[in-house]
Copies of this chain bind each other. A is one copy, B any other.
Amino acid sequence: MKLDFTYYNPTTIHFGKESLSNLKGELEQYGETVLLVYGKTAIKKNGIYDNVIATLNEAGKKVVELSGVMPNPTYSKMLEGCELVRKNDVSLILAVGGGSVIDCAKGISVSAYCDDDPFTKYWLQFQPVDNKTVPVASILTMVGTGSEMNGGSVITNEETKIKAGRVFPADIYPKFSILNPEYTYTVSRYQMVSGVFDTMSHLMEQYFTGDDCNTTDYLIEALLRSSIDNARAALKDPEDYEARSNIMWNATLALNTMTGLSKAQDWQVHMIEHQLGAYTDCAHGMGLAAVSLPYYRHIYPHGVDKFARFATEVWGIAAKGKSKEAIAKEGIDALEAFCKECGIVTSLKALGATEEMLPKIAESTFILEGGYKKLTTEEILKILKECF
């Protein structure tokens, strides 16, 4: 663990079939008015909405609702929530849904009482949060982003076409998150595998950096193996509780900051996908998969030892008598084969992109330095064309 770090994660996780039974006790610690934030109609169809409302009523809470939060939540939707918080003096923002809904809730938390333009101040200028904030909690119904146990909030400004991510400090993390794997049964196969790749991408973005292999790398390899094994089991039987519960917990651990400790971290794939998302609104995990394959084939010669280790430790590739380059290539091939096996879409065209979008996506992508090779805009365009 070469690089010094501070680790602090105060989110309480209630996990399992009976985890919702902890909601009432948690609610007692907060004031009268709760802002319930959710997406479209899913949680009404599967009954989660009714169960949550029943507990909120039992706890004697006044409930205000912000519904219709979309994948890649927009700045304008977030501002709607800020308005509701101010008007109703909300004391807890309860997000019920996936990462988009929780990201939106965190955005509302820091922005409701911000006097400047919050998007500029917090998502573009990364200024410290110096205004009053509102506690956030979550009930997770879709797996992948890890937003239930971190400070991440990705908001899309639909006017400027900027999808910007910000990691807020621990006092913005959800105070508690309720994770019931059964809530994910109704998620479509498409969304499930998209979530699995999202988890794997978070792990790989943290793994493919540095010349060492520290304990964090060993943990990442374990979570990748668990993600692969359990995705296969869940595809056989979507109601395999053991598999769905492992997939859910993998996603949380993949981005609760523990799997990034003492790692420089890359995140270039996410930077490219964020702009892809701003233009196409595609499923986040699918966009990540499409970009990852050509990206890793482009950079692996600059980190061949780590890519070779990825092949042997994560995919069980036999190393005997092969060059490191050959082993590394086999690892990326195994990743691609796994995407095909799971029905993960890896073509930008199939994800709704047009050829005209590619230069705009490339030009608007943030370029980072943490990975094995710093890209140029031309290289990003080349990578986008390779997965078009």
Residues in A lying within 8 Å of B, measured CB to CB? 1-19, 22, 181, 212, 214-215, 218-219, 221-223, 225-226, 230, 241-242, 245-246, 248-250, 253, 258, 261-262
Contact = CB atoms under 8 A, between A and B. Distances in A.
Given A6-B22, A10-B10, A221-B222, A246 B215 contact: yes
B19 A253 contact: no
Given A215-B223, A245-B214, A17 B4 contact: yes
Given A6-B22, A8-B13, A22-B6, A1 B245 contact: yes
Given A9-B9, A17-B4, A218 B225 contact: yes
Contact of A212 (B4, B223, B242, B261): B242
A215 B219 contact: no
Contact of A12 (B8, B22, B242): B8
8 contacts: A4-B17, A5-B15, A6-B15, A7-B12, A7-B13, A16-B262, A215-B230, A249-B262
A13 B7 CA distance: 5
Taking each of A2, A218, A262, which has the highest tally of chain B beta carbons within 10 Å of its own beta carbon? A218
A249 B1 contact: yes
A222 to B, nearest CB: 4
B16 A5 contact: yes
Task: Kindly report how many copies of this chain are found in the complex they form together.
Answer: 2
Contacts of A4: 15-19
Contacts of A212: 242
Contacts of A241: 2
Given A12-B8, A13-B8, A2 B242 contact: yes
Contacts of A218: 222-223, 225-226
A245 B261 CA distance: 12
A6 B13 contact: yes
Contacts of A181: 1
Contacts of A19: 4
Given A218-B223, A222-B222, A242-B214, A6 B1 contact: no
A349 to B, nearest CB: 35
Taking each of A214, A222, A258, which has the highest tally of chain B beta carbons within 10 Å of its own beta carbon? A222
A103 B249 CA distance: 30
Contacts of A14: 6
A16 B10 CA distance: 21
A230 B217 CA distance: 13
A269 to B, nearest CB: 23
A6 B248 CA distance: 14
A18 B3 CA distance: 10
Contact of A3 (B5, B16, B219, B226): B16
Contacts of A2: 241-242, 245
Given A219-B222, A222-B221, A226-B218, A7 B1 contact: no
Nearest to A7: B13
Contacts of A248: 1
A177 to B, nearest CB: 10
A183 to B, nearest CB: 14
A6 B12 contact: yes
Nearest to A176: B8
A259 to B, nearest CB: 10
